[in-house]
Structure 1
Amino acid sequence: MALPVGTAAPDFALKSKTPEGLVEIRLSSFRGRKVVLLFFPLAFTSVCTEEMCRMTEALNAYGRLDASILAVSVDSPFAQEAWAQREGIHIPLLSDLNKEVTRTYGVLLPGVLGIGDVAARAAFVIDRQGKIAYAEVTANPTVLPRFSAIEETVGRLD
């Protein structure tokens, strides 16, 4: 079960591949800012590509709301980087290859397509104090999160 609204968002440190190399990104380094934390099943899939491209297009709008966007999947950082380059994705993609963060947030989806465990499609909005202000896990990984509800939540946070 996903972490509920009002819960302190668990800190994590995950790797992301950037042009400068592998970097570690900690959720706690965003304290004082609003964060949209997205979990997605797999890079190089159509629905995940649509979601990350839509959020890339919205980066400026979220920036004006003083919010950062982070996206987590169980893919390797190298696969995430190749996908981001191919699709023009400019959101930090964080690798949870060992599935610890996905499990901690309660969004591990077991046995997808006979491939194995992946992240469910989920969205969390984390306020400036590190509390979850919005939580959504889609019932089906082919369904996108409610972008309007995410943006509305970010906009009403101080």
Structure 2
Amino acid sequence: MPLATGTSAPDFTLKTKNAEGLADVTLSANFGKKNTVLLFFPLAYTGVCTAEMCDVTGGLGDYAALDADVLAVSVDSPFAQEAWAKQNNIKVTLLSDLNKTVTKAYDVLFPNLAGVGDTSARAAFVIGKDGVIKYAEQTPTPKDLPNFAAIKAALA
């Protein structure tokens, strides 16, 4: 079960890969400034994850209009995430949780996905400017997408 609404979002700093190289992204940098949509996805280069991140990329303007940044977390390396993003024109900020510390902190670990090992489950959180979780969802299976209408409603 993911962390419940009304609880403080665990802060973290994870790596992302951009044109300048590796960079740190810290969740609490948004506190007091913007809402955050935090998406967990199992693995880059998989069909459902690619479709999800491409769809979210297409709607980034909608999230910006709701005063929200979108961050997406997987257990892939930042280098694999960068190559996948370039190949699929994904513009969402992708964060590497290679050690699974953030995945575990949000209680969304998916054990032994397809027999290859532990990954992040597919999950979504809306974190308010105050650092409190306003919406939390873990999908029933990795093939199911989060309820993006409910995510946007939580931001509105």
Q: TM-score, normalising length from structure 2?
A: 0.98
Question: Which position in structure 1 is the counterpart of 2:152?
Answer: 151
* CA-CA distance at 1:141 after TM superposition: 0.3
State percent identity of aligned pairs.
57
Q: Extract structure 1 runs of 4+ deviating beyond 3 A.
A: none
What SS does structure 1 have at the residue aligned with 2:118? strand
* CA-CA distance at 1:15 after TM superposition: 0.1
Question: Which position in structure 1 is the counterpart of 2:24?
Answer: 24
How far apart, in 2, do the equivalents of 1:66 and 1:111 lie?
36
Question: Which position in structure 2 is the counterpart of 1:45?
Answer: 46
How far apart, in 2, do the equivalents of 1:26 and 1:58 lie?
23
CA RMSD of aligned residues (A): 0.5
* CA-CA distance at 1:56 after TM superposition: 0.5
Question: Which position in structure 2 is the counterpart of 1:110?
Answer: 111
- Aligned AA (1:6): G
Question: Which position in structure 2 is the counterpart of 1:125?
Answer: 126
- Aligned AA (1:20): E
* CA-CA distance at 1:88 after TM superposition: 0.5
Q: Any unmatched runs of 5+ in structure 2?
A: none
Q: Deviations over 1:44-86 (max 9, x none)?
A: 0010011101110111111111100000000000000000000
Q: Any unmatched runs of 5+ in structure 1?
A: none
How far apart, in 2, do the equivalents of 1:104 and 1:81 lie?
24
Question: Which position in structure 1 is the counterpart of 2:72?
Answer: 71
* CA-CA distance at 1:120 after TM superposition: 0.2
Aligned pair count reads: 155
Q: Deviations over 1:114-140 (max 9, x none)?
A: 100000000000011000000000010
How far apart, in 2, do the equivalents of 1:85 and 1:152 lie?
30
What SS does structure 2 have at the residue aligned with 1:116? coil
- Aligned AA (1:25): V
